[in-house]
Amino acid sequence: MAEVKKESKKKGLYKTRELHVMLLPAVIFTAVFAYLPMFGLIMAFQEFKPLLGFTKSKFVGFDQFTYIFTMPSFRQAFVNTFIIAFFKIILSILVPLILSLMLNEVVKSWFKRSVQTIVFIPYFFSWAILAGMLLEIFAYDGIINNVMQNFFNMEPIAFLVSNKYFRTIIIASDVWKGMGYNTVLLLAAITNVDAALYEAARVDGASRWQQVLHVTLPSILPMVAVLTVLGLGGILNAGFEQILVMYNPTVEKTVDILDTLVYRLGIAGHQYSAAAAMGLFKSVVSLIFVGISYWILYKKSDYRVF
């Protein structure tokens, strides 16, 4: 019996050999760029010298972690990272959820498709392009200030050098860039809701709002849960590319994050071991958040992501 099962398994693998070959480049890419660099984490426990390499650099234990945790700029960068990432995660789920529910109620298919296309477009642009647009829009003589001056007789505001406004611009622009992608995912989940549930709700006298509240939202909860868990995995990734291209020293107090601190340590300051230690710290914290969120989802709703 065991030999029969083994033989059938071999035949199944042979039948799907083309799919496995197609998967091979992705496996190699992931192994080379995601798993192989993990060996470099040994730098976090060394006083790494490029000329000496991993094998001959001095092992210093947890000294690098002590160094980064006692840095004057670490605490502020950690707080900024957590605040920015927290609001990005919440709003990147909430805004697309509201938008997808609204689009689901639209009767005209051409209007729905047009809105989906428009909100999806920013997702395909790099932050180098979008940052240039945002810097022009929020400049002291940019579009926003011109509108405020000409139509509302308000004084221009230096948005890009103000700690009061710059963090909000960073969060809002990131949500704007990614909301199209999440909206499409949530709309796909909504279209898979069984139509019989809506019919039963209408028979029971439910209004459109009650159908959304008691049928649509519970049905797409698994997709919302997946997006939440994936988002919590990046709780300390507040958007390095975005902040790097929009950053200026006057707003360091509110938008300096761990990634920009790592950049200054490792690339600009050549402190490779300290940068590796901070990267490892970020990864451990993200792993803890993913584990906790997954455990809560499993216990409260018996939902498995994997």
Q: How far is CA 10 from the centre of its chain?
A: 39
Asked whether the beta carbons of 263 and 149 are under 8 A apart, the reply is no
Asked whether the beta carbons of 89 and 175 are under 8 A apart, the reply is no
Give the pLDDT of residue 296: 75
C-alpha span between 198 and 178 (Å, rounded)? 30
* 231 has a pLDDT exceeding 80: no
Q: Where are the domains of the chain?
A: 43-301
* 125 has a pLDDT exceeding 80: yes
Extract the tokens encoding 186: 């949530």
CATH 1.10.3720.10 is right for the domain spanning 43-301: yes
The CA angle 246-250-256, to the nearest 5 degrees, is: 60
Give the pLDDT of residue 208: 84
pTM: 0.82
Give the pLDDT of residue 1: 52
Q: Please write the tens of the pLDDT for every residue from 186-206.
A: 888 888 888 888 888 888 888
Give the pLDDT of residue 173: 92
Q: Please write the tens of the pLDDT for every residue from 242-267.
A: 888 888 888 888 888 888 888 888 88
Residue range 262-276: average pLDDT?
87
Q: Which residues, 6 or more positions from 194, have their beta carbon under 8 angstroms from its beta carbon?
A: 219
Q: Please write the tens of the pLDDT for every residue from 127-157.
A: 989 988 998 899 888 889 998 888 888 888 8
Q: Are strands 46-47 and 58-59 parallel, antiparallel or unpaired?
A: antiparallel
C-alpha span between 85 and 232 (Å, rounded)? 9
Give the pLDDT of residue 177: 92
Give the pLDDT of residue 4: 47
Q: Which residues, 6 or more positions from 59, have their beta carbon under 8 angstroms from its beta carbon?
A: 45, 46
